[in-house]
């Protein structure tokens, strides 16, 4: 009897694991194709052979500038920032068991964004110091929301409502700071309001890659405990998970990812919010959603930026496109929560 | 069969947000026995279970397992000895029964160690014991209430602990599923010698299935002992403020409580 059950278990696990691997492989392949297309396509088409030569450091007349200077930095920053947003957002959603608990809804991205604007406009800083201030502000906002919604434990919906309120306050500060900016620049303003990879530079990639490796690695190392939090704090704790410590680690890691990406590209609207749920639908609920969410985030920003540049009438920053995708999903979630009587 | 662990509660005061619910409570759990905690609503039954399973920190006093405070033990090591099924737990969306039950093995796995054969055996045994093997690949969302509760019990069984605590495990189950579940816990107690502690609403089921009853009133231990000593008319009145008659259950030979209300008593009918 037990041996047949073991057989059922092993077969089921093989199936689900195989499906998950195939889907992650598929997402990776799709990302690679999109990356190549983003380098090839634009106002002119560059053949793949030329793209490859430019990537390998060759000098190709006409292509070196468009591919090497214009498209490559955009594509690379899109992918890295998208990964940070996707993974950070999914970590929050899993931790609080609610897709609405994403950093871009509860004001953490807005906090990082506001700090970056403040540092640039009023303190005339740039580079890593802006990132540092954005991380500090993101963490500050996260802890503030946590403290304000703490009442003998943290309830997801209370935290979300507090976060939405804080987010609205911070957005008005961003608008104020931009209005006070000495050189009012629409592109710059859009970047800090909805996010944009305009003006992406390759030298920004190093910092993004570093936080992805360090903080992304930290999150992945805790992913099994994080996954257990989906069972509820009580069950997780009864199964030997140190809930408080896991939660603090996840907040640190996820806020760091979100804040550094925000300091680079601005809060690319709804990327953190959308990636996790899309990834969960693609790979199923077997295993951690962090890696697939990072891939989906990269895909969203990369294709969203391309669509904003070339597929729509006029040119829009990527945040406008992802924002247009995210808003209907937000409404869908709220309607569903109403209908099933579930939590927010 | 298994090592008997001794769980003791001494001078326990605990509650939420500074309001004490339990006050100066002392209790020694009987190893290898089934204990049921009974009492009126808001008397501290669930709070007691939460403190005993270290989900809640006591404000004063302590809970010890084999002499050591459970709130100072490494949580993973404790989770190999003490399991807990909270009241109406929520499964992650889309998770399969096999996956849910497998999570019961979490405390047995190291930070890096992979899934082993013994883990599979424990999960399979838990699925078989709860008759959930055929549903292993189904999504928990699709199950009926009774099946879902069995899946959670299977998860707790896969955890393979010597002590198992359950907070109102029969809530939302119809009567046949209640009996099925309590029978299952009796099996577990008989076969593995698992110490079982549960909060039960139904006094008669508690008297029938438990070896030991613990009656709480206003956050304090009123009386404890075998069902014959605890389920008496005086105690029922003290705990619930209810007049009752105790008879002998013709099925089990244990005491059985018949409530006496203002209506539908024989004296009232013509």
Residues on chain B touching A151 (C-beta within 8 angstroms): 17
* Mean pLDDT of all residues in A24-43: 94
* Mean pLDDT of all residues in B249-270: 85
Residues on chain B touching A97 (C-beta within 8 angstroms): 90, 92
User: Is the pLDDT confidence value at B136 over 70?
Assistant: yes
Provide the pLDDT for residue B1. 42
Q: Is A43 on the interface with B (CB under 8 A)?
A: no
Provide the pLDDT for residue A155. 67
Query: How far is B178 from chain A, CA to nearest CA, in Å?
Result: 22
Which segment of A125-134, A162-171, B52-61, B190-199 scores lowest on mean pLDDT?
Answer: A125-134
User: Is the pLDDT confidence value at A343 over 50?
Assistant: no
Nearest Cα residue in chain A from B127: A5
Which residues, in sequence order, are bridge partners of residue B244?
B259
**Confidence class for position A340, pLDDT limits 50, 70, 90:** low
**Contact call for A231 and B92, based on CB within 8 A:** yes
* Mean pLDDT of all residues in B127-137: 91
Which residues, in sequence order, are bridge partners of residue B238?
none
**Contact call for B94 and A280, based on CB within 8 A:** yes
Q: State pLDDT tens for residues B23-78.
A: 889 999 999 999 999 999 888 999 999 999 999 999 999 999 998 999 899 999 99
**Confidence class for position B225, pLDDT limits 50, 70, 90:** very high
Q: State pLDDT tens for residues B162-191.
A: 999 999 999 878 899 899 999 999 999 999
Q: Cβ contacts of residue A13 below 8 Å, gap of 6+?
A: B98
Provide the pLDDT for residue B146. 86
Task: Give domain limits for chain B.
Answer: 1-81+162-270, 87-160
Q: State pLDDT tens for residues B202-211.
A: 999 999 999 9
Find the CB nearest A238 among B53, B124, B133: B53
Query: How far is B91 from chain A, CA to nearest CA, in Å?
Result: 6
Find the CB nearest A234 among B77, B86, B120: B86
Please give the biggest Cα pair distance in chain A: 76
More confident residue, A244 or A338: A244
d(CA A304, CA A196): 10
Nearest Cα residue in chain A from B76: A240
Provide the pLDDT for residue B19. 82
User: Is the pLDDT confidence value at A341 over 80?
Assistant: no
* Mean pLDDT of all residues in B128-152: 91
Most confident of A120-129, A150-159, B112-121, B239-248: B239-248
**Confidence class for position B110, pLDDT limits 50, 70, 90:** confident
Provide the pLDDT for residue B58. 92
User: Is the pLDDT confidence value at A129 over 50?
Assistant: yes
Q: Cβ contacts of residue A94 below 8 Å, gap of 6+?
A: A226, A227, A229, A230, A276, A288, A289, A290
Tokens of A65: 């500038």
More confident residue, A184 or A62: A62
User: Is the pLDDT confidence value at A339 over 80?
Assistant: no
> Is there a contact between A318 and A197 (Cβ–Cβ < 8 Å)?
yes
Find the CB nearest B92 among A5, A6, A285: A285
DSSP letter at B91? P
Find the CB nearest B75 among A224, A240, A286: A240
Residues on chain A touching B79 (C-beta within 8 angstroms): 238-240
Question: Minimal CA–CA distance to A199: which of A70, A44, A34, A41?
Answer: A70
* Mean pLDDT of all residues in A37-47: 89
Query: How far is B4 from chain A, CA to nearest CA, in Å?
Result: 20
Q: Is A8 on the interface with B (CB under 8 A)?
A: yes
Q: Which helix (H) or strand (E) holds B37?
A: strand B34-39
Provide the pLDDT for residue B188. 92
Q: State pLDDT tens for residues A214-273.
A: 999 999 999 999 999 999 889 999 999 999 899 889 999 999 999 999 988 989 989 999
User: Is the pLDDT confidence value at A13 over 90?
Assistant: no
User: Is the pLDDT confidence value at A326 over 90?
Assistant: no
* Mean pLDDT of all residues in B139-152: 90
Provide the pLDDT for residue A338. 65
**Contact call for A9 and B120, based on CB within 8 A:** yes
* Mean pLDDT of all residues in B74-102: 91
Query: How far is A59 from chain B, CA to nearest CA, in Å?
Result: 47
Provide the pLDDT for residue A154. 60
More confident residue, B250 or A59: B250
Tokens of B187: 């099996």
Q: Cβ contacts of residue B187 below 8 Å, gap of 6+?
A: B129
B 12-51 → A contacts, CB under 8 A:
16-17, 50
**Contact call for A2 and B86, based on CB within 8 A:** no
**Domain B1-81+162-270 falls in which CATH fold?**
Rossmann fold (3.40.50)
Provide the pLDDT for residue B187. 93
**Confidence class for position B98, pLDDT limits 50, 70, 90:** very high
Q: Which domains does chain A have, with CATH numbers?
A: 2-340 (1.10.3470.10)
Provide the pLDDT for residue A152. 59
Instruction: Spell out the SS3 assignment of B195-245.
Output: EEEEECCCHHHHHHHCCEEEEEECCEEEEEECHHHHCCHHHHHHHHCCEEE
Question: Minimal CA–CA distance to A81: which of A312, A297, A328, A305?
Answer: A297
| CA distances, B129 to each of A1, A99, B47, B222 (Å) | 10, 35, 29, 36
């Amino acid at each position: 009897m037990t041996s047949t059950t073991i057989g059922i278990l092993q077969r089921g696990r093989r199936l689900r694991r195989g499906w998950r691997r195939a889907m992650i492989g598929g997402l990776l392949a799709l990302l690679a194709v999109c990356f190549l297309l983003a380098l090839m396509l634009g106002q002119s088409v560059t053949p793949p052979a030329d793209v490859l030569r430019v990537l390998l450091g060759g000098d190709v007349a006409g292509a070196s500038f468009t591919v090497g200077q214009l498209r490559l930095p955009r594509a690379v920053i899109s992918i890295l920032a998208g990964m940070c947003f996707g993974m950070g957002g999914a970590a929050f959603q899993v931790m609080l068991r609610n897709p609405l608990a994403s950093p871009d809804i509860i004001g953490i991205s807005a906090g990082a964004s506001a700090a970056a604007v403040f540092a640039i406009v009023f303190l005339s800083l740039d580079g890593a110091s802006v990132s540092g201030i954005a991380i500090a502000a993101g963490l500050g906002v996260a802890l503030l929301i946590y403290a304000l919604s703490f009442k003998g434990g943290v309830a997801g919906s209370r935290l979300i409502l507090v976060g939405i309120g804080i987010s609205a306050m911070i957005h008005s500060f961003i608008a104020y700071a931009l209005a006070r900016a000495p050189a009012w620049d629409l592109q710059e303003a859009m970047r800090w309001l909805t996010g944009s990879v305009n003006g992406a530079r390759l030298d920004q990639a190093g910092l993004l890659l570093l936080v992805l490796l360090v903080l992304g690695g930290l999150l992945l190392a805790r992913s099994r405990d994080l996954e257990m939090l989906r069972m509820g704090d009580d069950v997780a704790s009864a199964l030997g998970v140190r809930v408080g410590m896991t939660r603090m680690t996840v907040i640190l890691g996820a806020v760091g990812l979100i804040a550094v990406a925000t300091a680079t590209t601005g809060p690319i609207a709804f990327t953190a919010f959308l990636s996790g749920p899309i990834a969960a639908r693609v790979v199923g609920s077997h295993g951690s959603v962090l890696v697939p969410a990072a891939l989906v985030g990269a895909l969203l920003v990369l294709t969203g930026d391309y669509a904003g540049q070339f597929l729509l009438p006029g040119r829009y920053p990527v945040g406008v496109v992802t924002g247009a995708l995210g808003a209907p999903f937000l409404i869908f979630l709220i309607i569903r929560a109403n209908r099933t009587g579930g939590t927010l | 069969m298994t090592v008997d662990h001794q769980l003791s509660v001494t001078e326990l005061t605990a509650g939420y947000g500074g309001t004490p619910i339990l006050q100066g409570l002392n209790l020694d759990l009987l190893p290898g026995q089934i204990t049921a905690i009974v009492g009126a609503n808001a008397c501290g039954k669930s709070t007691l279970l939460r403190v005993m399973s270290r989900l809640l920190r006591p404000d004063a006093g302590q809970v010890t397992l084999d002499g050591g405070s459970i709130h100072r033990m490494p949580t993973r090591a404790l989770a190999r000895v003490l399991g807990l099924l909270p009241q109406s737990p929520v499964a992650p969306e889309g998770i399969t029964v096999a996956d849910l039950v497998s999570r019961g093995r979490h405390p047995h796995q190291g930070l890096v160690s992979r899934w082993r054969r013994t883990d599979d055996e424990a999960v399979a045994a838990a699925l078989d014991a709860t008759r959930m093997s055929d549903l292993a690949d189904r999504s928990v969302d699709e199950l009926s209430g009774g099946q879902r509760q069995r899946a959670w019990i299977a998860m707790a069984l896969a955890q393979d602990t010597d002590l198992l605590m359950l907070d109102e495990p029969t809530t939302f189950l119809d009567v046949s599923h209640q009996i099925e579940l309590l029978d299952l816990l009796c099996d577990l107690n008989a076969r593995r010698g698992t110490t079982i502690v549960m909060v039960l609403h139904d006094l008669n089921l508690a008297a029938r299935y438990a070896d030991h009853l613990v009656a709480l009133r206003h956050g304090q231990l009123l009386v404890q002992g075998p069902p014959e000593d605890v389920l008496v008319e005086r105690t029922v009145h003290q705990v619930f403020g209810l007049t009752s008659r105790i008879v002998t259950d013709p099925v089990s030979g244990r005491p059985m409580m018949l409530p006496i209300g203002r209506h539908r008593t024989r004296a009232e009918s013509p």
